[in-house]
Structure 1
Amino acid sequence: MTTRNTKTLISSIALAGALSLATLSPAMAGNLTTDSLLLHGGKGELNQLAEKNIAAGKYEKALKYLKKASKKPMDGTMRSRVYSDICAVQALNENYDDALESCDKSLGYDDKNWKALNNKGVALTALDRKENAHKILSRALEMSGENKIVLANHIQSADNM
């Protein structure tokens, strides 16, 4: 069960990525909004369909497209990005255990994917595993070159320990 403090934290936490905020309309999943959500995104048709569905708040449909994209041939870095995006959408759906599994898959393909580390930290925070979340977010912060979103997540994870 998600506590009020965790929901408040999650509402201001961003799942770090590269998709422009301007392309996303406000949509809600619990208290986590796409206003604070960033994804890797991609150029392929399936990724674009996923992005449109995220913007419309249709997370299950977006997840379907991302999972289909994960089955396409691609290199490890791209596969890592797709699984990181799957993790983000699963977190929006409050499926935090599944999100952790997807982040771990992402990191299995590219252990330097700081966006996946950030997403994992968000999911761990939602599951009230704050010390582990803070440790993961510390790594993400170092690897990201102190990305503003990861920095905010890191600070908030420390405040909630």
Structure 2
Amino acid sequence: MVEASVGKGGFFSSKKILITVIALLALIIAVFSFLNRDQTGLEEGTVIIKAGDTILGRFTIADLQKLPAVEKKMTVNSSQGNSENEFTCVPVLAVLNSIDPGLTQKYKKIITKGVDNYTSGVDMSEVLQPDNVYIAYADHGKPLKTKIGEDGSMRIIICNDDYGQRFTRWLVGMELQ
């Protein structure tokens, strides 16, 4: 039987063990932080449209404002209660067509991503429906707030959804599948 001395001057002292554990925890945190970092550089105010690893396009709120906008009055039902909104928005179809008019024929689904890593799916058939899927950038004439409370965010809204669970706040990415 092998015994380790934990007394004064022993091979394992409680101080050395504590330092080793702290160093090991710091290393583990550093590795997981590196692995979970945002490798695409996504930030609010710009939405990147991808298919797999290929970036097909990107747009900003200024780009959206160049497209014909509509005002959508709607009540959003959520776990935080109901909110009355008047979104200024652009149809997702118009955004996709401004990048490449053939995108809606090549892909069947869009996975939307928020800066908070919330993801949701929208079938392309929903995008093709009139008056259904939009990218909003203002509410009651005021810019949508970013996650940290500043002006300049975008949000997916789906008019045919009763509860808004697929509404992606703080939109930063759209992956076509």
TM-score by shorter chain over 0.5: no
**For the superposition of Structure 1 and Structure 2, which TM-score range results when normalised by the shorter chain?**
under 0.3
Structure richer in strand, relative to its length: 2
Structure having the larger proportion of residues in helix: 1
Tell me the TM-score normalised to structure 1 length: 0.25
**Highest RCO, 1 vs 2 (Cα 8 Å, sep ≥ 6):** 2
Question: What's the TM-score once normalised by structure 2's chain length?
Answer: 0.24
